Structure 1
């Protein structure tokens, strides 16, 4: 977005300098007073005092109601605080006053994307570029809105137009790379990734860390990107400082808050739901804080909402008001289920509305932020020698960090190979990970496996139409007939789990491994072959396989991965032995023992609270396994 306050997230020279309250006495002319109030707003914003910044701007606008520079700053402040409708009202007023001003259309495009109004965002961005073809932010807005509107070819063209004008534009490089991941568009893939790594966060440019996490795939890059990204919120003033709990607070149940926009039929909710249902209600009071998402009318939506003691909708209130609500609820431990994924409200966490704040489940890497105290992991996913790449302290669970839901329904429908587009004969390799996790290197490996197993196919989850076309084209380039790539259309989870049983072996991706998808496969008895790296994001499937008692499906190299895949595809007895063990272990090993997981998880929360009550800072610890 455009405007003075868009630069206010740079660190202040003196972070703890006193910030004057907006002056109310008119000392000079109204214009001079408005200018002074704007200066105060900038200073307040630099210190993270957005309520004061907004109040100053609102007062300034009263002195100078047709000053479009002031109005656009106020619109930006509203947007930053998540007061989206207020921001829209202001920008519409600015458009009426200055209909030929490119800056307002740039800001408006960004706002409309945040509001989910993609068609309008496309129109605003195109008007901006007609007025000023060199407005780089408008290209970013246009590309993002086109992608949100599923116009992927047009989105790629917008990114290319931006990078033709500014080849080292950090946001453009990253966003363009990420959409190419989703489309499996791999021409010059390695070179593009190298430019992303070298020209963005390593030069101090704030770019979305999730793309780095799933692109570069290593812990060091993820840490640097997270730290750079979080700097926009560091140095703000928290709502309160926190002492150990009072005797009265310790006498009540421990209050746990969950912050997310995924309280519907989403992977995070599918994993979390039974943990919430099985909690010790005598020891824990659980609050849900929903920042959006869908009321999709599904069973999982009803289950997760009812599993909370209370659930609040924070979607349409400002970050500051949302944080105040959490603070007023006296939450002891606030758990961020989003990290730096789509729809995150990190601004709320940055205000530190709870004394203990945790990164859990939604973001498999460090957030690199001072306001996040812990990350929940296990000793396989995050071994002690990797802690140097995490700014959080590590709470290690004894079996696997990932919860699971044993109540997840599996369709009883009879699925047939013919009905799913699979050949009547031949081995079915499958990978139902999101297409952005597929890289040229792992696809090379899969195609080599298909070469060595005649009649086999790769069954993969449908992406966008351009993605499906690209996967078939890339197979042909590697000497595999296009028809050996079978695209599985998306369907509801219950039915998808049922059809997964037609697969013979799940081939995991790298460097981003299967997470919820791997536990889904194991739940229905489908073996998962994985090759972990050194980062959290690459090791989740390996942790699941340890917890379900089939660690031999963890390869130690690509060569070993290839050999294991071919062995299982050509030795029916070996594959059947794995199937039999999975069936025997499914309900007897820790992976799907939800009660055991819940007790371990609750022990971790209690340990966090105990350290606080002892007046100690957060520290890494391991929860002992139940006997």
Structure 2
């Protein structure tokens, strides 16, 4: 009726972005901008669409145009901060989030985004006060932080549940438009489908690859729905060869993917992402399959009524903790985590000096992402170093700012910064090989080592953990129980510190633990992938029979 109608063009981009039809959203914004080049909203919406297309630099330009026109545009600052975070320009992202806090302190998710981004560079100014404020905001009903970051900031599973429910209600409510799903006719083969953005070189695929190969194809038809980036790496090829079908659904909306899953007769839909990066919970809000399961990617409740089951084990979620989860809990017999026995450990010649390590001295290691290192954990580590002369702490360098801040934090706690050594990112086989030069892996809490703990144990490096109350804080304990090393599980900070110091100062005790790990590596359930596969398939069969 009116092709010059600016508001219609600019508003049209909003549902197009929500439907992930980003190119059409861009076109709509370009029409709006042509009509009113000095209106900031058109530039903001264009930035959101460009970000959806992974054109981050162009998205930044669009946000900057919006901010040139309107310097106090809180939404533009927030979206610019999120894009800068994706580009690992973390200091700049923090500046944007701080600006939003000043302009609009109640804007959704920004309070938590700021604290989480600061934790990624190990910047802990006023951390305890900010975390207390954040926790209070969550319990009072404010949408202050997204669910994934809170897992690393606090060990309170009640808080995690409230946060997940708030986020799910706001962003992924039940979508009834497809109607009730028809009851399937019982078939000899159950059709299961794994949904993920990570069917390529990624930690999730490194864990799950052998499971796909071992699934009993006489009992199960196994489909992969991929909504991640296009990839032709070796991992993607391996996964594609082991699935009955691997379907690229990147360009489809959540509704279209759910429709496709229904048309294909998927019996059990397994979400491998939860609320992690590039996740698509909206697919399951439409009820893609009669049985919907959360597994592996997200260590906690999704807080929504349409995820029927959460796969765990008795260590991860004891009976008394079930009230913190909205899903029915499926407990596998040993550990919830699948593993791949084909992970290659490189045969490369290394030396301590080539790795940046001193020639002598006990090597504590932690290869977790730096955001998992909270001030309380770092305090413990520094006390451990003080009690073990000549020891060093070998950490993964997620980003240079984190390394710089951790060195400053060490000096502030009376430990020479030279006792912190940082490992750069490496290929997985080489990374696994360098574990041989560490003596003991010191775990983080409340967000444990997950894949990194399995990597360490696979490479023969003992992992010392502090088990907490939440899912994320109990994973390493689950793995240690499954490999027969419960003596490396502690339940108080005092126990954790004392055990680390004991193992560093009593080499015969650590030698005995390493020998036990070597003996248990292929004789206990943790790396018995065929046994794990049978247990998981039994769980799927029971879900199907109940349905």
How far apart are 1:302 and its partner, in Å?
1.5
1:52-67 equivalences in 2 (<5 Å): 63-67=1-5
Instruction: Choose which of 142, 146, 149 in structure 1 pairs with 2:80.
Output: 142
1:287-436 equivalences in 2 (<5 Å): 287-295=223-231, 297=233, 299-436=234-371
How far apart are 1:121 and its partner, in Å?
1.5
Q: Does 1:110 align with 2:45?
A: no
1:71-90 equivalences in 2 (<5 Å): 71-90=9-28
Give every structure 1 segment of 4 or more consecutive aligned residues whose post-TM-superposition deviation is greater than 3 Å.
Answer: 167-170
Deviation string, structure 1 residues 500-519 (Cα, Å, up to 9, x no partner): 11110000001111101001
Alpha-carbon contact 2:395-2:422 (below 8 Å) kept? yes
* Paired position in structure 2 for 1:239: 178
Q: Does 1:534 align with 2:465?
A: no
Instruction: Choose which of 79, 84, 91 in structure 1 pairs with 2:29.
Output: 91
How far apart are 1:296 and its partner, in Å?
5.1
Deviation string, structure 1 residues 62-100 (Cα, Å, up to 9, x no partner): x23221211222211111011111111111111111111
Deviation string, structure 1 residues 346-391 (Cα, Å, up to 9, x no partner): 1111111100000100000000001100000001100111111111
The answer to which of 68-77 and 432-441 deviates more is 68-77
* Paired position in structure 1 for 2:218: 282
* Paired position in structure 2 for 1:262: 198
The answer to which of 102-111 and 309-318 deviates more is 102-111
Deviation string, structure 1 residues 381-428 (Cα, Å, up to 9, x no partner): 001111111110011100000000001100010221000000000000
1:609-624 equivalences in 2 (<5 Å): 609-612=544-547
Gaps of 5+ in 1: 1-62, 613-627
Gap change, CA 1:235 and 1:588, over 3 Å in 2: closer
Q: Could you say what secondary structure the match of 2:191 adopts?
A: strand
Gap change, CA 1:349 and 1:215, over 3 Å in 2: same
Gap change, CA 1:376 and 1:409, over 3 Å in 2: same
Q: Could you say what secondary structure the match of 1:479 adopts?
A: coil
Structure 2 CA distance for aligned equivalents of residues 495 and 149 of structure 1 = 26
Deviation string, structure 1 residues 497-546 (Cα, Å, up to 9, x no partner): 00011110000001111101001000011000001101111000000000
Q: Name the count of aligned residue pairs.
A: 546
How far apart are 1:479 and its partner, in Å?
0.9
Structure 1 CA distance for aligned equivalents of residues 65 and 283 of structure 2 = 33
How far apart are 1:168 and its partner, in Å?
3.8
How far apart are 1:181 and its partner, in Å?
1.3
Alpha-carbon contact 2:110-2:144 (below 8 Å) kept? no
How far apart are 1:244 and its partner, in Å?
4.0
Alpha-carbon contact 2:141-2:166 (below 8 Å) kept? no
How far apart are 1:118 and its partner, in Å?
1.5
How far apart are 1:453 and its partner, in Å?
0.5
How far apart are 1:255 and its partner, in Å?
0.4
How far apart are 1:580 and its partner, in Å?
0.2
The answer to which of 157-166 and 414-423 deviates more is 157-166
Structure 1 CA distance for aligned equivalents of residues 337 and 78 of structure 2 = 35
Q: Could you say what secondary structure the match of 2:163 adopts?
A: helix
Deviation string, structure 1 residues 607-626 (Cα, Å, up to 9, x no partner): 000110xxxxxxxxxxxxxx
1:163-182 equivalences in 2 (<5 Å): 163-182=101-120
Alpha-carbon contact 1:201-1:228 (below 8 Å) kept? no
The answer to which of 424-433 and 78-87 deviates more is 78-87
Normalized against structure 1, the TM-score is what?
0.85
Q: Does 1:153 align with 2:91?
A: yes
Alpha-carbon contact 1:238-1:352 (below 8 Å) kept? no
Pair member with larger Rg = 1
Structure 2 CA distance for aligned equivalents of residues 317 and 251 of structure 1 = 28
Structure 1 CA distance for aligned equivalents of residues 378 and 193 of structure 2 = 41
